[in-house]
Amino acid sequence: MFANTPLIAALPASDLDRAKAWYSEKLGLEPVWEDEYGGAHYEAGGSRFLVFVSPFAGTNQATAAGFTVENFDEMIEDLRAKGVTFEEVDFGEMGKTVDGVISSADGMSKAAWFKDSEGNILSLSTLPPA
- What is the mean pLDDT of the segment spanning 67-84? 95
- What is the mean pLDDT of the segment spanning 101-119? 92
Can you give the pLDDT at residue 104?
Answer: 87
Domain count, the chain: 1
Q: What is the CATH number of the domain that holds 115?
A: 3.10.180.10
Structural domain range at position 85: 9-55+63-126
Q: How does the average pLDDT of the chain come out, rounded?
A: 93
Res 129 pLDDT > 80: no
Q: Is residue 39 part of a domain?
A: yes
Three-state SS for the chain is CCCCCCCCEEEEECCHHHHHHHHHHHHCCCCCEECCCCCEEEEECCEEEEEEECCCCCCCCCEEEEEEECCHHHHHHHHHHCCCCECCCECHHHCECECCEEECCCCCCEEEEEECCCCCEEEEEECCCC
- What is the mean pLDDT of the segment spanning 28-41? 95
